[in-house]
Structure formats: structure tokens, C-alpha cells
């Protein structure tokens, strides 16, 4: 049989943790399913999926049986994973309890069913899972239909009122998340707003689609949805101060709420990430360091809570914000040392990232090596952005990657390449409708450079460029450029003939001493 490296059963088995594999093997041995245990072991030991090898190692298995055996094994693994995780995932417990209620109801054991429904409702309310709470209410209505108690009318009214309330909350959450994802899809295409037209368009989408609400009356789930929406919106329009306030409000929901953190662990990790982004953009260095410690502390959670999705998020955000910390402090050498240590693991880590996260990682890594004056390595990383097949993803980063590449070529003395690349960058930015004053100043500066210019004249040009760019850092539609690349510090390093890391460190220490 031909090899099939994309086999879903093979991929599932390879994703299992040691404890999950042990749990499965014990379960199938207890069930007397030794044939499944044998098939599991054969696949587990394979380096790549190969059906022929399976049949050679298990002579009792016929080729026409293999497909069904693999399908049954796949389902058995999922069933065991459900049982294994039921102790740490509250939603599984609630669904199991509702299933038990349905079984009792079908056996006409209405009294027992009612008790189980009460238990399920208590868990659903505690975890603030509105969808499962609605499912519980459905069964409460079923139970009332089979009851002849004197208070049926008042109980029916109470259940109907609760259904309306829960449905309204679910509608709010869906409205908040739908609007958030709509804005997010636009952001992933263009990046931060580029001009007045972008701002008006985004503001219109936001104001037309956001539902009416009274914040004080919102449930925890609604507040989480609302604050995530606000954070995304204010970050998009570069109002990081307001975005920061909502990021703090979101994290504060989880303060001291261990049960809530564990039941919504991914949401909590995302909330810390958003707060770190705001603290980084606003240069709140001490706060950033404290929040980073909170994020890293989540790596100490029991392994039962560390599924692959959670582990990947923690790795990604810990990695990104360690980068950001080093950028804030101007410790580019420390960043390069970190990259050297983790480089062997990047080969498996990078493919696990979504395309947007990969692009951000490539660009930040290029900036890191640039800051450490490793310009050739910086170019190799920035080329990963420029050569990306995801051309419609983060058009703004594609543009700034080209500018960073040009500056790297300048630092390397590749003056013959600059003329050509400046013109191609002009064409790219013009096509993407992203040619602003910031880009024009830099491209014109690079275009006019030549090898015969004196050091004094070059220094004067650096000073002129810096003085032209500084006012743009306050412009609502030009300041986004300074988010991507600290060009002012680079210019100051050229003017003062000092490493860019020293310039950034000096600014960081000034901020730390001020606070």
C-alpha cells in the first residue's frame, strides 16, 4: 500500500501526551480490546504513516479490515480523550450530566431526571456557559410538561423568563464576537488604519453593528465579549490608551477567580496578551514586566490543563513578549542570544503558527537582527515576509518590510541595489495605496544617497530626515509607521555614531527612572 503521511489516525496518535496514551492503553485492556491496543502500538511506533507496515506487523489483520479498524480506533481514542479530560474541562462534565438526564427522562424516571437537571444547571451557572444553560432550560421545560404540581404556572413563567434572559445574553455575545471578527478580518488585510477614509469606514462598521447594552447589567461572558471587541477596535484605530483601559478591565474580570481562569484559560491567555500589547505600545515598562511574569506563571499549571492549543499559545505569546521586552530595553544582543538558543526548535514551532503570526514573527526577528547590526541576517528574515505567498495579509507589514530591507542594504553599502529597490518599493506602496509622507521621506533620502557624499553632509541629511519625521510621530495616520520600526532611534544612532541599542537603552532607563 502507498504511504499516506496525512492519515488522520496517525496524526491523532502522534499528538497524544504520554499520560493520554497510558490512559488509553489501560482502558482498551480493561475492555478486552487487545486488537485495538496492538494497532495503536504499531502506529505509535511509526515515524511516518504506512499501511503496508501495519499489515506486515499484524498478520491477523486483513487488508479489507484495516480501514474499519482504523475508524473504530480513531473513535475509541476520542472517547477516551473525552473521559480523560472530563475532570479538567467543566463543559464536558456539564454535557455528560445533561446526557444522563436525557437517559433518565427516556426511562420515565422523571424525579431522578429533575435532580440531575438541577445539578447540571448549577454547574452551567457557575461556569457561565450560557449555551449549556439554555440546553438545561430546555429539559426543565420538558420536565414541567410531565409535572402536575400546584406551582406549575409560576415555575413555567420563571423558566420562560430565564430562557428569554439567557437568549438575550447569547445574542449579545454573538453580536459582540461577530463585529469583532469582522473588524479583525479587515485588520489582517490592511493593518492599522492608514488614512481618514479607513477611520471613517471602521468607525461606521463599529457604530452601526454594535448592539444596545447597559454594561452594569452584563454577565461575565457578555463583558468578556464586549471588552474584546473594544480592545480590537481601539487597537485598530491606534487609540492604545483606550484599548489599554479595556485590556485592564478584561484581565481584572479574572483576578482571584481560579475557577474562571481554568474554565476559560484560552480567553485569559488572550487577555494577558492584549494587555501586554498595550503596555508595550505605551512604553509602560514596569507594568509590562509584571504582566509578563503572570503570563509565564501559566506554564506551571498542571499538565492536565496544558492541551496542545494552550501550550502553543503560551509558547507563542511568551516568545513574542520576551522579544518585545528586549526591544523595549534595547537589549538586541540578548535577543540574538535567545534566538541562538531556541533556533533548533523554530523548525517545528513556526509551521504550527497561523500565517498572520508567522509574518509578525518574521518581521520582528528581522528588526531584532537589525538592532544588533546583523544586517545580512536581518535581510534573510525580512525576505520571508516579502516572499510570502500571503500577499493580501497585512499589506502594511509587507510595505515596511521593504523599507527595512532598503535600510539594511544601505548599512551594508549595497548602494547599487538601492536605486532599483527604491523604485520597486514605490510601485508596491502606490499599488497598495499605502504611500504616505513617512515612506516618501525615507525613500527620497535613500534615493539621493551616493558614495561621494561627505561625512558631514551625510550627518546633516540624517538630522534633516529626523527633524522631518518627528512631527509625523504625532500625526494620527502617520504614527503607525513608528510602531513597526524605531527609525528615530536609528537616525539618532547614525547622528551620534553610537549603536542603536545604546540609544534605546538610554530612553528605556529614562522612562524607568521617571516612574
**String of DSSP letters for 1-52:** ----TT-HHHHHHHH--HHHHHHHHHHHHHTT-HHHHHHHHHHHH-SS--HH
Q: What is the pLDDT of residue 301?
A: 84
pLDDT surpassing 90 at residue 445: no
pLDDT surpassing 60 at residue 35: yes
We report the CATH number of the domain holding residue 371 as 1.25.40
Minimum mean pLDDT among 4-13, 122-131, 487-496: which range?
A: 4-13
Band of residue 309 on the pLDDT scale cut at 50, 70, 90: confident
436 in a domain, yes or no? yes
Q: What is the pLDDT of residue 393?
A: 76
Quick one: average pLDDT of 337-358? 86
Residue where a domain stops, chosen among 23, 54, 85: 85
| 318's grid cell | 511568551
Domain count, the chain: 2
Round to whole Å and give the CA distance between 401 and 390: 14
Over residues 195-212, the pLDDT tens digits come to 899 999 999 999 998 989
Q: What is the pLDDT of residue 108?
A: 92
Minimum mean pLDDT among 57-71, 106-120, 211-225, 448-462: which range?
A: 448-462
Band of residue 439 on the pLDDT scale cut at 50, 70, 90: confident
SS3 string, 425-443, reads HHHHHHHCCCCCHHHHHHH
pLDDT surpassing 70 at residue 515: no
pLDDT surpassing 90 at residue 398: no
Residue where a domain stops, chosen among 85, 101, 130: 85
Quick one: average pLDDT of 410-414? 89
Band of residue 513 on the pLDDT scale cut at 50, 70, 90: confident
Give me the percent of the chain exceeding a pLDDT of 70: 97
Band of residue 482 on the pLDDT scale cut at 50, 70, 90: confident
Burial of residue 407 (number of CB atoms within 10 Å: 0-12, 13-18, 19+)? buried
pLDDT surpassing 70 at residue 468: yes
pLDDT surpassing 90 at residue 274: yes
Cβ atoms of residues 322 and 364 within 8 Å = no
61 in a domain, yes or no? yes
Quick one: average pLDDT of 275-303? 92
143 in a domain, yes or no? no
Residue where a domain stops, chosen among 70, 85, 100: 85
pLDDT surpassing 90 at residue 258: no
pLDDT surpassing 60 at residue 12: yes
Whole domain around residue 53: which residue ranges?
8-85
pLDDT surpassing 80 at residue 297: yes
Round to whole Å and give the CA distance between 42 and 370: 48
Highest mean pLDDT: which range of 1-10, 126-135, 419-428: 126-135
Minimum mean pLDDT among 38-52, 314-328, 416-430: which range?
A: 416-430
| 266's grid cell | 484560552
Average pLDDT value over all residues in the chain: 89
277 in a domain, yes or no? no
509 in a domain, yes or no? yes
Q: Compute the Cα dihedral for 487, 448, 426, 421 and give only its sign.
A: negative
Band of residue 3 on the pLDDT scale cut at 50, 70, 90: very low
Round to whole Å and give the CA distance between 213 and 174: 13
Residue with the larger pLDDT of the pair 485 and 334: 334
Over residues 149-194, the pLDDT tens digits come to 777 888 889 999 999 999 999 999 999 999 999 999 999 888 888 8
187 in a domain, yes or no? no
Which three-class secondary structure state does DSSP give residue 390?
Answer: coil
Quick one: average pLDDT of 362-389? 92
CA distances to 20, 216, 327, 442 from 491, in Å: 55, 49, 17, 11
103 in a domain, yes or no? no
- Residue 470 has a CB neighbour count (10 Å cut-off) of 12
pLDDT surpassing 70 at residue 255: yes
373 in a domain, yes or no? yes
Q: What is the pLDDT of residue 451?
A: 60
Residue with the larger pLDDT of the pair 88 and 479: 479
Amino acid at each position: 500500500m502507498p504511504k499516506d503521511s496525512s492519515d488522520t489516525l496517525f496524526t491523532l496518535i502522534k499528538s497524544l501526551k504520554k499520560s493520554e496514551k497510558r490512559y488509553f492503553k489501560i482502558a482498551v485492556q480493561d475492555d478486552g480490546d487487545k486488537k485495538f491496543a496492538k494497532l495503536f502500538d504499531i502506529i505509535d511506533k511509526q515515524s511516518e504513516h504506512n499501511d503496508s507496515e501495519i499489515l506486515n506487523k499484524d498478520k491477523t489483520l486483513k487488508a479489507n479490515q484495516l480501514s474499519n479498524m482504523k475508524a473504530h480506533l480513531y473513535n475509541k481514542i476520542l472517547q477516551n480523550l473525552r473521559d480523560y479530560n472530563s475532570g479538567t474541562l467543566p463543559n464536558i462534565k456539564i454535557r455528560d450530566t445533561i446526557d444522563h438526564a436525557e437517559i433518565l427522562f427516556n426511562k420515565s424516571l422523571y424525579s431522578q431526571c429533575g435532580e440531575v437537571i438541577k445539578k447540571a444547571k448549577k454547574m452551567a451557572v457557575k461556569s457561565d456557559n450560557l449555551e449549556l444553560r439554555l440546553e438545561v432550560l430546555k429539559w426543565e421545560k420538558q420536565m414541567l410538561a410531565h409535572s402536575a404540581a400546584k406551582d406549575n404556572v409560576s415555575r413555567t413563567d420563571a423558566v420562560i423568563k430565564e430562557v428569554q434572559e439567557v437568549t438575550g445574553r447569547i445574542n449579545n455575545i454573538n453580536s459582540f464576537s461577530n463585529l469583532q471578527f469582522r473588524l479583525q478580518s479587515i485588520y489582517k488585510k490592511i493593518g492599522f488604519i492608514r488614512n481618514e477614509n479607513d477611520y471613517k469606514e471602521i468607525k461606521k462598521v463599529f457604530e452601526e453593528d454594535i448592539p444596545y447594552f447597559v454594561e452594569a447589567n452584563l454577565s461575565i461572558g457578555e463583558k468578556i465579549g464586549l471588552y474584546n471587541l473594544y480592545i480590537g477596535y481601539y487597537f485598530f484605530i491606534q487609540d492604545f490608551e483606550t484599548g489599554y483601559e479595556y485590556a485592564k478591565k478584561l484581565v481584572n474580570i479574572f483576578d482571584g477567580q481560579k475557577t474562571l481562569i481554568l474554565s476559560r484559560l484560552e480567553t485569559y491567555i488572550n487577555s494577558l496578551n492584549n494587555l501586554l500589547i498595550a503596555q508595550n505600545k505605551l512604553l509602560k515598562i514596569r507594568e509590562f514586566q509584571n504582566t509578563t511574569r503572570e503570563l509565564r506563571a501559566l506554564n506551571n499549571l498542571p499538565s492536565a490543563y496544558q492541551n496542545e492549543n494552550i501550550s502553543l499559545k503560551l509558547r507563542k505569546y511568551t516568545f513574542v513578549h520576551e522579544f518585545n521586552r528586549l526591544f523595549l530595553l534595547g537589549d538586541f544582543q540578548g535577543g540574538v542570544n535567545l534566538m541562538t538558543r531556541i533556533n533548533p526548535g523554530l523548525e517545528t514551532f513556526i509551521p504550527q503558527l497561523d500565517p498572520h503570526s508567522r509574518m509578525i514573527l518574521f518581521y520582528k526577528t528581522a528588526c531584532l537582527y537589525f538592532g544588533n547590526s546583523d544586517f545580512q541576517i536581518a535581510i534573510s528574515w525580512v525576505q520571508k515576509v516579502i516572499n510570502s505567498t500571503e500577499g493580501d495579509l497585512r499589506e502594511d507589514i509587507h510595505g515596511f518590510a521593504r523599507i527595512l530591507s532598503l535600510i539594511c542594504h544601505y548599512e551594508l553599502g549595497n548602494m547599487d541595489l538601492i536605486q532599483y529597490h527604491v523604485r520597486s518599493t514605490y510601485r508596491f506602496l502606490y499599488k497598495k495605496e499605502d504611500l504616505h509622507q513617512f515612506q516618501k521621506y525615507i525613500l527620497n533620502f535613500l534615493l539621493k544617497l551616493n558614495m561621494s557624499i561627505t561625512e558631514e553632509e551625510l550627518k546633516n541629511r540624517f538630522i534633516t530626515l529626523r527633524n522631518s519625521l518627528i512631527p509625523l510621530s504625532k500625526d494620527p495616520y502617520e504614527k503607525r509607521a513608528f510602531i513597526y520600526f524605531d527609525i528615530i532611534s536609528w537616525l539618532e544612532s547614525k547622528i551620534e555614531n553610537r549603536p542603536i541599542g545604546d540609544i534605546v537603552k538610554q530612553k528605556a532607563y529614562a522612562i524607568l527612572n521617571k516612574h
